[in-house]
Amino acid sequence: MRAVADYFAEEGYVCLVPDLFWRIEPGIELGYSPPEFEKAFGLYQAFDIDRGIDDLGAALDTLRQRPECSGQAGVMGFCLGGKLAYLVATRPDPAVAVCFYGVGIDQALDEVAEINCPVVFHFAGADQFVPPEAVARVRDAIGGRAGIEIYEYPDVDHAFYNKNRADVYDKPSAMMAHSRTIAALRRVLGPD
């Protein structure tokens, strides 16, 4: 996540990477080995979504108060973070939200009416964690609303944006998703 934040900082954005699991295991850092994946899945199962959204709202407030920040802030997330970015768009009032392959968004569509900012969704066409049926439910519930962009990348898998996952990284799709994300951020946040 730090590498992603650095990537967006190079584009001119002030970035903050919150410690999502601080209530369970503060300061945890995981890679992509099978034992680390199992550990991450356990953290995911123990994660309290509502408290996490509260924490992300506090992180947005902190970011907005930074002298380097323009006063507006957006949120972006991957996997669980993709779902959290969607939910933050319905609650703590970010300026923009970007959701990469958000697991479980289709189970939280009762909050669609509360979306109060532009939201960009990126879904992988061959994602076993967010299958096509889940994407279709999201598209049916949210698609067509002003400020909502839903993109599907055919024949790529979950985590296609992650350069550290050679088994699933897809450079053309990642570059397209990055360009679309930057376009959305620039429309709302700048940089000027």
Q: What is the mean pLDDT of residues 68-86?
A: 94
pLDDT at 166 over 80: yes
pLDDT tens across 28-69, in order? 998 888 899 899 989 999 999 999 999 999 999 999 999 999
Residue 72 to residue 189: CA distance in whole angstroms? 7
**What would the DSSP string read from start to end of 15-56?**
-----TTTTTSTT----SSHHHHHHHHHHHHH--HHHHHHHH
Is 127 part of the annotated catalytic residue set? Answer: yes
Domain count, the chain: 1
pTM to 2 decimal places: 0.94
Q: Pick the most confident of 24-28, 32-36, 162-166, 169-173.
A: 169-173
Confidence of residue 192 (pLDDT cuts 50, 70, 90): low
Q: Active-site residue among 158, 170, 178, 192?
A: 158
CATH of the domain at 48: 3.40.50.1820
**Residue-range definition of the domain harbouring residue 89:** 2-189
Q: Active-site residue among 106, 127, 157, 170?
A: 127
